[in-house]
Chain A
């Protein structure tokens, strides 16, 4: 009796061919993207998406063409933060035209596909029971299509804003084998750093993805009247040494940044001279330097 390997094909479904075609679509699209950056935290509520939105704007203001993938399929926020929630996606034979924010930053997000504010991401299925067996697969498929089927055009940077947790990064690393690097966002609290360390280990040691650096968000508070800096968290809660070594910048807490995120106004453009904007620009410069040096090394 013939063994599995002796049988010539999979009876005609050509599953490998179908999967290869999906991968080809993805690689073809990524060919026009110079640098891919995943922005992750591991912990929720650290302001990762707000950082991602402002880094995208800062990179755009520095003359780069920038696209953003809101990879948080179930909790998308970037369309609101970037002021494009009312955009209607346009479908063309070449792909889906992304939403374009005021300064030219392009965005694709599940939020742009959901019917109403209170519409959850619900997939067609005979039953939603036992959805744990396939839901994650569906989400990775959605992420693949977001990257592969969006008409990005030529991009200098494609940022991927990952959901909290370290579980999505392996999916991204598989979809984008030459992922340029990871920016890790944390806040000074020990709890946040504890969880974020796991994400760093996952990226650096397991997936072998370069860590561009760490952004310390809500690092301190600047009094808007006297300009004095005060710690927002306990003074004992400082950034771990391991994070200090790869620190891209410390972003002070500014309530106006939260307000801008709520209203879809790019904070960094609206308040360019604030300590938070200056810190964000510093982070942006370091990200660009990381890729410039990488390019130099490869020449």
Chain B
């Protein structure tokens, strides 16, 4: 994946990546000549695919840990035996969750979700709207959801209903 600043005809460079929010990461790229920035949004499926390939946006300069993918991504892993001399400073950061890998925090930091906000900040979905949302093809559903939520916010709606979806429909190619 490459990005071109069409004004400068220059390859853009990776600048930063956010932690996933609702499963979606945002990567920033910048033109080295005019410093124009663009944001690339990966939907949750794309973000998850990147995790599954054990690849990191922006490159990876850290030495690979043994079985880092399995140990960081397995939801309920068995306890592990860790020799003291292995990496005590990292081992000491072990979470209190039973059976979790002590490296989990280090390895998957880039993919750890931002903490969920305690107060809901977005509009609420009605049952009817949620049912219609489910009918949108899976691969575009997260994008459509975000778009509808943005539409609702911009237009001052606290609840997303079928009528709001109808109003937002013009912005999307997918039918729902």
Instruction: Give A residues with C-beta under 8 Å from B.
Output: 1-2, 4, 7-15, 17-19, 21-22, 25, 88-96, 110, 112-116, 119, 121-127, 129-130, 133-135, 137-138, 141-142, 145-146, 149
Contact = CB atoms under 8 A, between A and B. Distances in A.
B24 to A, nearest CB: 8
B79 A88 contact: yes
B113 to A, nearest CB: 7
Interface string B64-78: 101111111111111
B6 interface: yes
Contacts of B3: 11
B77 A113 contact: yes
A96 B51 CA distance: 21
Contacts, number: 166
15 contacts: A8-B11, A11-B12, A12-B14, A19-B53, A22-B54, A22-B64, A88-B79, A90-B81, A93-B66, A114-B76, A123-B73, A126-B48, A133-B49, A134-B45, A141-B54
Interface residues of B, number: 58
Contacts of B87: 93
- Listed residue (B3, B48, B55) with the most chain A CB atoms within 10 angstroms of its CB: B48
B58 interface: yes
A15 B70 CA distance: 20
B76 A119 contact: yes
B82 interface: yes
Nearest to A94: B66
Contacts of A11: 1-3, 11-14, 29
Contact of B23 (A90, A115, A126): A126
Nearest to A11: B14
B118 interface: no
B55 A19 contact: yes
Nearest to B141: A130
Interface in B1-42: 1-4, 6, 9, 11-14, 20, 22-24, 29
A122 B69 contact: no
A288 to B, nearest CB: 31
Nearest to B103: A91
Contacts of A7: 2, 4, 11
B83 A129 contact: no
Contacts of A10: 1-2
Contacts of A94: 66
A124 to B, nearest CB: 5
A101 to B, nearest CB: 18
Given A88-B79, A113-B70, A134-B52, 17 more contacts: A1-B6, A7-B4, A8-B11, A9-B2, A9-B11, A13-B1, A13-B57, A21-B60, A90-B81, A91-B83, A113-B78, A114-B74, A124-B75, A133-B45, A133-B139, A134-B45, A137-B53
Given A7-B4, A114-B76, A14 B59 contact: yes
Interface of B is mostly: loop
Contacts of B122: none
B23 A114 contact: no
Contacts of A89: 78, 80-81
B77 A115 contact: yes
A170 to B, nearest CB: 17
A1 B51 CA distance: 32
A145 B14 contact: no
A18 B60 contact: yes
Contacts of A9: 2, 11
Contacts of A129: 138
A13 B56 contact: yes
A176 to B, nearest CB: 18
Contacts of B23: 125-127
A126 B55 contact: no
Contact of B80 (A1, A2, A91, A142): A91
